[in-house]
Amino acid sequence: MKKIIKMLYEGKIDPSGYVSPDNPEYQNIMDQEKEILDYLRQKLAEEDTERLNDLHTLSVDSTFQYAYAYFSYAFKLGMRLACEVFMDDRIFMEQDKRSSANLPITDSND
């Protein structure tokens, strides 16, 4: 299994490019959005269609920014959790060392 850091370096991991919700509700929403946009593009004058396209682009861009903010927050939270877990392990290991250092030394022949 390849190391994640190497895959990131090589560009083989790109969360923003590969993630797509597999929820059927998401696909339903996307289908409805496309249907409405197509309908409006047919009904609107050319200038209004351009404005509709501008609105759609802004909506996509704002959704991307929102998703990035959540990704960034979740990633940082995950890293903090991992740090906390590893810090707790070190604390336990230090406590184990201290407790075993305080155990009385006994001769196995007793």
Q: What is the pLDDT of residues 31-88, one digit of tens each?
A: 999 999 999 999 999 999 999 999 999 999 999 999 889 989 999 999 999 888 888 7
Structure tokens belonging to residue 14 = 């790109």
Model pTM score: 0.61
The per-residue pLDDT for 103 is 55
**50 or 6, greater pLDDT:** 50
Residue 97 phi/psi, 5-degree rounding, is: -65, -45
Helix (H, G, I), strand (E, B) or coil at 14: coil
| Mean pLDDT (whole number) for 92-98 | 70
Q: Largest alpha-carbon pair distance within the chain?
A: 99
